[in-house]
Amino acid sequence: MPERRTVALVTLGCARNEVDSEELAGRLAADGWELVEEAAEADVAVVNTCGFVEAAKKDSVDALLEANDLKDHGRTQAVVAVGCMAERYGKELAEALPEADGVLGFDDYTDISGRLQTILSGGNVEAHAPRDRRKLLPISPAERQGSDVALPGHGDAMASAPEDLPEGVAPASGPRAPLRRRLGNNPVASVKLASGCDRRCSFCAIPSFRGSFISRRPSDVLGETRWLAEQGVKEIMLVSENNTSYGKDLGDIRLLETLLPELAAVDGIERIRVSYLQPAEMRPGLIDVLTGTDKVAPYFDLSFQHSAPGVLRAMRRFGDTERFLDLLAQIRTKAPQAGARSNFIVGFPGETEEDFAELERFISEARLDAIGVFGYSDEDGTEAAGYENKLDPDVVAERLAHLSRLAEELTAQRAEERLGETLTVMVDRVDDEDGVVGRAAHQAPETDGVTLLTGGRDLVPGRMVEAKVVATEGVDLVAEPLPLGAEHGAGCPEEAAR
């Protein structure tokens, strides 16, 4: 009988990392590893790191150190770093953090089982050597399909995969589908639509370690969605660095418009959500599909970043306050209840008081449901890190605090505008402390607040409930379920709980 090997995956960062962790879990389970939830109960703790901004990198280091402490008084024998921070810094991270027994990059994912076994056995796996992943794919998007570059979440040739996979592990579809195993039983799951980014925003390092943009085949996205539906998933969130570019390397920049109705038709799926949309790439046809397709949430996660033209040009982005407001008006003309969220950077090099006032004007008029505000900081290897006219850190902190307070007030006001609305709410969880917690179409997981459902009717995760908004708590809503005859969706509680 094979020796028992246990592994725990600790995931930090965005939904894209969560997908990558489930791919790693699928590969490990297929090779006989036993997955456990707690790092203290695992022989190997794998920390899927985030390398986006300083705060996220600090959280990743803290998670690695916390896992390392378990080696002194728990079962854990090895701690391994994977993910964006490991890919971005590789050997540098290994030298700075000797507590990590391994630092693995994306190229190691296809043989993650072998790498972990070597480390667990006391062997040495050379730390990942970082490289600019944009240079690994052809410049022309049309020539990128079929490349053998490692793309987490896209899959690879499955010739070496076991024919008899463990229960709950499956190649989602086709010969290039990734092995995937769900970590948890949440009724919502993310699906990768693409990887990488061809935009060259001056503040962002992501393309250098995630690579150039490359789409997944629609058949693989559909197949993975069908498999997730079989696992009980009710809501799919499409993720990538830039969903509005989907299909450009497949010869059809409007491919998302045709794919969304097909995904919405998958049996068992009740809601499709699209994240990470670039305002400069929005088009009327995409707005029509997002606002007019049954089961597709009218949800617009728009990456504005700023609204002052001068700052946007320095960021190597496009647009201005009026164009952005016009885009939101177009959306709300099609779907008045549509949700909209965005993130903004304050204190960018050269940002004047007038620029800041223009940004303040935009968010005051935009009626966004959720707003993230970040103070600018230099990121290694970015163009903006070499800019002059850097603002004093105290000025950046002051502007960050001011805009954060304003954003909190404005999003609370936007929530109050929804009083009296009837919303379709998906139940996320039911517990003794918070009661029935769900999300309406304008609320993505983790980022946009929740809807608290009142009443004593039995509800279970995955259930779709028609409810009327009766109160607000900051950005959160309180809603009263309508009579049973007004509901639609997940069917009986037993079916929804499967």
Closest to 491 (Cα-Cα) out of 462, 452, 451, 470: 462
50 is in an annotated binding site: yes
Cα angle, residue 188 at apex, residues 184 and 193 outer, rounded to 5°: 110
| Rounded Cα–Cα distance for residues 69 and 76 (Å) | 9
| Rounded Cα–Cα distance for residues 154 and 212 (Å) | 14
Burial 418-432 (b: 16+ CB within 10 A, else e): beeeebbbbbbebee
| Rounded Cα–Cα distance for residues 308 and 355 (Å) | 5
Closest to 450 (Cα-Cα) out of 489, 432, 423: 423
Paired with 305 in beta bridges are 344
| Calculated CA dihedral for residues 444, 233, 13, 5, nearest 10 degrees | 170
| Rounded Cα–Cα distance for residues 62 and 97 (Å) | 11
Bridge pairing between strands 451-453 and 214-215: unpaired
492 is in an annotated binding site: no
| Rounded Cα–Cα distance for residues 408 and 414 (Å) | 10
| Rounded Cα–Cα distance for residues 108 and 449 (Å) | 36
Task: Residue 492: count other Cβ atoms within 10 Å of its Cβ.
Answer: 9
Binding residues for [4Fe-4S] cluster: 14, 50, 84, 197, 201, 204
